Structure 1
């Protein structure tokens, strides 16, 4: 009887642990405007089954195309957000668009704002590129997210010539 109860308890704990491990990891960002900008927004990340889904909603942009990247530091303290450093590049790759075989982990490409200044992004990348895994070299937790004034040209090294930083936020792990 005792052995049966112990086996059942261990099985229940194993199943609970497996269910917990399978739960998606999440993170979010609140984008705040840099000095002289009105750009704000939110970015949500959901990691599951080897994929990281990125969903962003941004407002206060000039209509048109804007660069959108993860930067190496989660520091938005400078009025122009230069404190966030350069693009997050855990693979030491050349800059490029997300469709290029070689690009920075934080190269999400461009977002396009409509006539009212709103833009959204829905992108999925493999967790081998970037992840929410605590302590991993490619983890974006604690990194900065930047919306730029100009389009990313996907060619100019190392930043894509995306211009002024309009908004900055830090990736915070979900609970």
Structure 2
């Protein structure tokens, strides 16, 4: 009789442990990709495709995976801009940085950062870049504060030079050399 009770108790523990493990696995998956995905085609000043970015909604921001080529080697400012227009060659149609909370530019600015501030891209000597980052202050959920999916759209911009992470409004990152509409 004791053996049967122990066996039943062990079976219950295994079932509960299995359920707990599944719940933990589900929670881990939910903190990874939890929603929408968007593919953003990046174009150079003459409209030529130079790469793409994949945006994935995470539990704490938007993961951005970038792959691009035909860029000048070195560091380049990389930002989310306020309008979803990418008219070359200067991409000024994309407007300023995405800044719905009216902060100052830069991770090192005590009054910042903009919601659209992102880390610099490091382009290798062959002109290519692959990078991953999380934009913590934005979402791909429509109608939510910080949504990149607003009626006029938003865009990703690669700048000619590095972002100094403190100078308002754009970190002295220079002209715009690539653009991609987030839609």
**TM-score normalized by the length of structure 2:** 0.73
Unaligned runs of 5+ in 2: 1-29
Q: Distance in 2 between matches of 1:162 and 1:39?
A: 22
Q: Secondary structure at the match of 2:93?
A: helix
Which residue does 1:62 correspond to in 2? 72
The DSSP-based 3-state class of the residue aligned with 1:83 is helix
Q: 2:175 aligns with which of 147, 164, 174?
A: 164
Shift of 1:72: 0.3
Following TM superposition, by how much is the alpha carbon of 1:41 offset from its aligned partner in structure 2, in angstroms?
A: 1.3
Cα offset, 1:78, TM superposition:
4.2
Given that 1:38 and 1:60 are in contact with CA atoms closer than 8 Å, whether structure 2 keeps it comes out as no
1:138 to 146, 149, 163: 146
Q: Which has the larger radius of gyration?
A: 2
Unaligned segments of structure 1, at least 5 residues: 1-21
| 1:136 CA drift (Å) | 2.2
- Residue pairs, 1:1-175, within 5 angstroms: 24-35=35-46, 40-97=50-107, 102-126=112-136, 129-141=137-149, 142-172=153-183
Q: Which has the higher contact order (CA 8 A, sep 6+)?
A: 1
Any conservation in 1 of the 2:108–2:165 contact (CA below 8 Å)? no
Give distance in 1, aligned partners of 2:38 and 2:159. 21
Give the structure with the higher percent helix.
2
User: Which runs of structure 1 show a deviation greater than 2 angstroms over 4 or more consecutive aligned residues?
Assistant: 48-51, 97-102
Query: How many aligned positions are there?
Result: 148
Q: 1:143 to 1:113 in 2, by over 3 A?
A: same
**Residues 31 and 40 in structure 1, CA contact (< 8 A), matched pair in contact too:** yes
Cα distance per residue 1:11-36 (max 9 Å; x no partner): xxxxxxxxxxx75211121011114x
Question: How far is the alpha carbon of 1:73 from its aligned partner?
Answer: 0.4
Q: C-alpha root-mean-square deviation of aligned residues, in Å?
A: 2.2
Could you report, residue by residue, the CA deviation over 1:129-167 in whole angstroms, capped at 9, with x for unpaired residues?
A: 100011223111220110011001112211111111111
**Any conservation in 2 of the 1:98–1:108 contact (CA below 8 Å)?**
no
